[in-house]
Amino acid sequence: MERFLLTMGVLAFFLLCCYGMWLGWRRKARAQSVRVAPFPEVPAEPGEARLTAEGLYVSTTIAGRWQERIVTRGAGLRSSATLRLYDGGLEVERVGAPGFWIPRESIVDVRRDRAIAGKVMGTNSLLVFTWRLGEQTLDTGFRGDDIGEYQRWLDVLNGKQIKGGA
Instruction: List CB contacts of 89: < 8 A, sequence separation 6 or more.
Output: 40, 43, 46, 101, 102, 103, 104, 106, 107
Residue 71 — very low, low, confident or very high, per pLDDT cuts 50/70/90?
confident
Q: What is the mean pLDDT of residues 103-121?
A: 88
- Rounded to whole angstroms, the Cα distance separating 17 from 11 reads 10
The per-residue pLDDT for 48 is: 92
Q: 133 with 75: CB under 8 angstroms? A: no
Catalogue all structural domains in the chain, each as residue range(s) with its CATH number. 51-157 (2.30.29.30)
Q: 59 with 76: CB under 8 angstroms? A: yes
pTM: 0.78
